[in-house]
């Protein structure tokens, strides 16, 4: 199970590999925290309640649905970078379980937890864009400072030479 | 300052050299040979260093050119400005006697150095084109004492053989020498 994000399209610029990984990690964290809060992948609906038996066995109320017992399934999401794409997937060992929750099965109600809605992706993108802009501004200021220093150095050097002639 | 400057200016003007430099309009080319330009581009490389280099040269050229004009030598011809007519000296004398007028410290009534209030020489600016190694002399246009613009005044002065637009020959040679030293330092 995987979801692919075209970062060039989303950010309208090239990202570095680290920036892409950072984006992927944020997507992963958003899925985990939203799932632990009991909301589905649209972020608007709570998951279907646990069965009475499962809730009793787990020792929680039926409404405390977080798809988390050992944290294996949620914790085994992987971030991969391929060109402009960032792919979030669930490790093959937990893929079957995840697929069962995501799509429902004979013995499991559908609890679509994986993936992000367009709105959630937009939120992550705009928050990252803000960070990128701050980084860009800082880099630009540093580059300007370096440029200015080089200009000043060359200027005082030539004035020094001219003064000595 | 007045009498000291008067003595210094007269001596300097008498010992000026002549040359055949002929810069035109407001664009003053410092004769940097193609070879030197290539050397600069090859050795200096960075745009910032080039900019700093030209900024320093422009600053130096402006300062030296202003000095030259104030001691009565044309930066274009490297010769003394033509002497003042008797009527002009009379006008300048009466200007000198005025109490409530701000005069330039370099103003001498009977000395031709294009200076009375000092506005024209102060208006002189040296810009630069670091890509083409060119200095561009420009003048701030407005004057406090009249509606006459400095460009018109310069045109009038040109017609009288008092050329102000240019860089003195010795300044140009210093610039070339300095550029060579700069390049060799950067190559080191």
pLDDT of residue A4: 96
What gap in Å lies between CA A114 and CA A88, rounded to an integer?
Answer: 9
Contact A89, A27 (CB under 8 A): no
Facing residue for A158 by CB, picked from B47, B48, B53? B53
Give me chain B's average pLDDT, please: 84
pLDDT of residue A92: 79
- pLDDT band at residue B129 under the 50/70/90 scheme: confident
Q: How far is B119 from chain A (nearest CA, A)?
A: 26
- Residue A144 per-residue DSSP state: H
The predicted complex's ipTM stands at 0.78
Facing residue for B56 by CB, picked from A146, A148, A158? A158
Whether A157 and B182 lie within 8 Å, measured CB to CB: yes
Question: What is the domain partition of chain B in residue ranges?
Answer: 2-187
- Mutate one of B48, B58, B184 to test the A interface: name it (highest A CB count within 10 A): B48
B175 contacts in chain A (CB < 8 Å): 162
In percent, how much of chain B has pLDDT > 90?
Answer: 54
Contact A71, A10 (CB under 8 A): no
Mean pLDDT of A32-38: 94
Tens of pLDDT, residue by residue over B50-64, are 899 999 999 999 999
Whether B60 and A162 lie within 8 Å, measured CB to CB: yes
Instruction: Specify the length of chain B in residues.
Output: 188
Tens of pLDDT, residue by residue over B5-20, are 666 555 554 443 333 3
For residue A21, pLDDT beyond 70: yes
A77-82 β-sheet, strand order: A2-6, A85-90, A77-82
The contacts of residue B107 (CB under 8 Å, 6+ apart) are: B92, B96, B115, B116, B117, B118
Provide the whole-model pTM: 0.68
What gap in Å lies between CA B74 and CA B56, rounded to an integer?
Answer: 22
The 10 Å Cβ neighbour count of residue A145 is 10
The better pLDDT of the pair B49, B22 is held by B49
- Mutate one of A155, A156, A160, A165 to test the B interface: name it (highest B CB count within 10 A): A155
Distances (CA, A) of A92 to A23, A111, B36: 22, 19, 66
Tens of pLDDT, residue by residue over A47-92, are 999 999 999 999 999 999 998 888 888 888 999 999 999 999 998 7
Q: Is B118 helix (H, G, I), strand (E, B) or coil?
A: coil
| The dihedral formed by the CA atoms of A160, B106, B9 and B121, expressed in degrees to the nearest 10 | 60
Helix extents (H) in A6-117: 7-11, 17-36, 52-58, 72-75, 92-103
Facing residue for B48 by CB, picked from A154, A159, A165? A154
Distances (CA, A) of A76 to A18, A19, A69, A124, B152: 20, 21, 13, 21, 80
Tens of pLDDT, residue by residue over A107-135, are 889 999 999 999 999 999 999 999 999 99
Residues belonging to chain B with any Cβ–Cβ distance to chain A shorter than 8 Å: 44, 46-53, 55-57, 59-60, 174-175, 177-179, 181-182, 185
What gap in Å lies between CA B178 and CA B166, rounded to an integer?
Answer: 19
């Amino acid at each position: 199970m995987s979801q692919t994000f075209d970062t060039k399209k989303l950010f309208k610029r090239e990202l570095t590999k680290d920036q892409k990984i950072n984006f992927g990690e944020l997507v992963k964290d958003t899925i985990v925290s939203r799932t632990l809060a009991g909301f589905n992948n649209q972020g608007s609906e709570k998951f279907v309640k646990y069965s009475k038996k499962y809730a009793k066995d787990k020792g929680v109320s039926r409404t405390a649905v977080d798809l988390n017992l050992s944290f294996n399934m949620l914790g085994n999401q992987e971030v991969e970078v391929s060109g402009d794409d960032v792919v979030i997937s669930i490790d093959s060992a937990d893929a079957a379980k995840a697929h069962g929750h995501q799509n429902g099965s004979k013995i499991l109600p559908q609890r679509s937890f994986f993936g992000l809605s367009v709105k959630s992706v937009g939120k992550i993108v705009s928050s990252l864009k803000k960070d990128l802009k701050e980084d860009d501004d800082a880099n630009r200021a540093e580059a300007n400072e370096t440029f200015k220093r080089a200009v000043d150095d060359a200027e005082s050097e030539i004035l020094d030479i001219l003064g000595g002639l | 300052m007045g009498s000291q400057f008067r003595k210094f200016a007269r001596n300097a003007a008498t010992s000026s050299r002549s040359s055949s430099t002929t810069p035109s309009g407001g664009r003053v080319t410092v004769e940097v040979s193609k070879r030197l330009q290539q050397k600069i581009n090859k050795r200096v490389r960075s745009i910032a260093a080039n900019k700093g280099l030209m900024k320093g040269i422009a600053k130096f050229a402006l300062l030296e050119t202003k000095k030259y004009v104030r001691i009565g030598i044309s930066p274009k011809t490297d010769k003394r400005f033509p002497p003042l007519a008797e009527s002009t000296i009379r006008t300048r004398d009466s200007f000198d006697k005025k109490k409530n007028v701000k005069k330039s410290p370099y103003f001498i009534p009977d000395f031709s150095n294009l200076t009375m209030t000092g506005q024209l020489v102060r208006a002189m600016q040296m810009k630069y084109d670091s890509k083409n190694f060119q200095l561009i002399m420009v003048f701030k246009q407005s004057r406090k004492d009249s509606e006459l613009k400095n460009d018109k005044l310069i045109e009038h002065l040109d017609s009288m053989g008092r050329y102000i637009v240019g860089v003195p020959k010795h300044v140009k040679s210093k610039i070339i020498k300095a550029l060579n030293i700069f390049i060799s330092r950067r190559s080191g």
